[in-house]
Each structure stands twice: as C-alpha cells, then as structure tokens.
Amino acid sequence: MIIKDIDGKTIYKLEEKNLIGANLSGLNLDYADLSDVDLRKAKLRGTSLSRSNLKCSNFMEADLSGAILYGADLSDADLCGADLRGVILCMANVSNTSFLNADINGADFTGSKIDGADFEGCEGFKNATGISN
C-alpha cells in the first residue's frame, strides 16, 4: 500500500507493515486496509480512517486524538496507552480490542460493537459516550 498526501506525493510505502512512529496526522485514509500493521507511537491526530480495516493492528501509545474512525474495524487491535481523546468510533467494531490505560476522554463509541473489549485503567471512561459507564 502506498500512502499519499492530498497532492499525490508519496508519504509512505507500506511493504513490511511497519509504521512505528509514523506521522500520518490529518490524512484521509478512509477505507484503507491497515490490518496487522504496527503503528506503535504513530501520530494520527485528526486522521480520517472511516470504514478502514484495522484488524489486529498495534496502536500502542499512538496519538489518535480527534481521529475519525466511523465504521472502522478495530477488532483484536491493541490500543494500550493510546491517546483517543475526542475520537469518533461510532458504528466501529472494537470487539476484543485492548484499550488498557488509554485516554478515552470525549471518545464516542455510539453504536459500536464492544463485546470483549478491555477498558481497564482507561482515563476518561466516564466521559466517553456509547459505552456502559
């Protein structure tokens, strides 16, 4: 997969599924297939990943604040320690996803499939919507 900016300039070539620490902030990656990709400590502030396949991806300690993940599939993903403040996860699949110690202040999970998700130690759990708090 090749990730390009709005002007068509190549930003990343995804050959080995390794985007550790990558800066993808503000990009439109709707419908992208980033399944099984290592995005630890990546910067995805304000990135649109609506309807993307993010199954089994590693977002440990990534910054996804303000990102739009409407209808995305994050099943079995690792979001431990991630910054998810203000993230839109409406209608997403976060089944069996680990949010251990993530900051979910203001995150919106309305209509999301959350069975088996681990929210242990999450900061802002009471300020997130769409999950039983």
Q: Which of 46, 14, 35, 18 is nearest to 93 (CA)?
A: 35
DSSP state of 16: S
Residue span of the structural domain in which 67 resides: 17-133
Whether residue 13 is predicted with pLDDT greater than 80 in this model: the reply is: no
> What is the number of domains present in the chain?
1
Alpha-carbon gap, residue 58 to 72, rounded angstroms: 15
DSSP state of 17: S
CATH of residue 96's domain is 2.160.20.80
27-82 tens-digit pLDDT:
889 988 899 999 999 999 999 999 999 999 999 999 999 999 999 999 999 999 99
**Residue 6 belongs to some domain of the structure:** no
CB within 8 A of 41, min separation 6: which ones? 20, 21, 60, 61, 62
Alpha-carbon gap, residue 61 to 40, rounded angstroms: 6
**Residue 82 belongs to some domain of the structure:** yes
**Residue 2 belongs to some domain of the structure:** no
**Residue 1 belongs to some domain of the structure:** no
**Residue 81 belongs to some domain of the structure:** yes
pTM: 0.89
The C-alpha R_g of the chain, in whole angstroms, comes to 13
Alpha-carbon gap, residue 130 to 55, rounded angstroms: 21
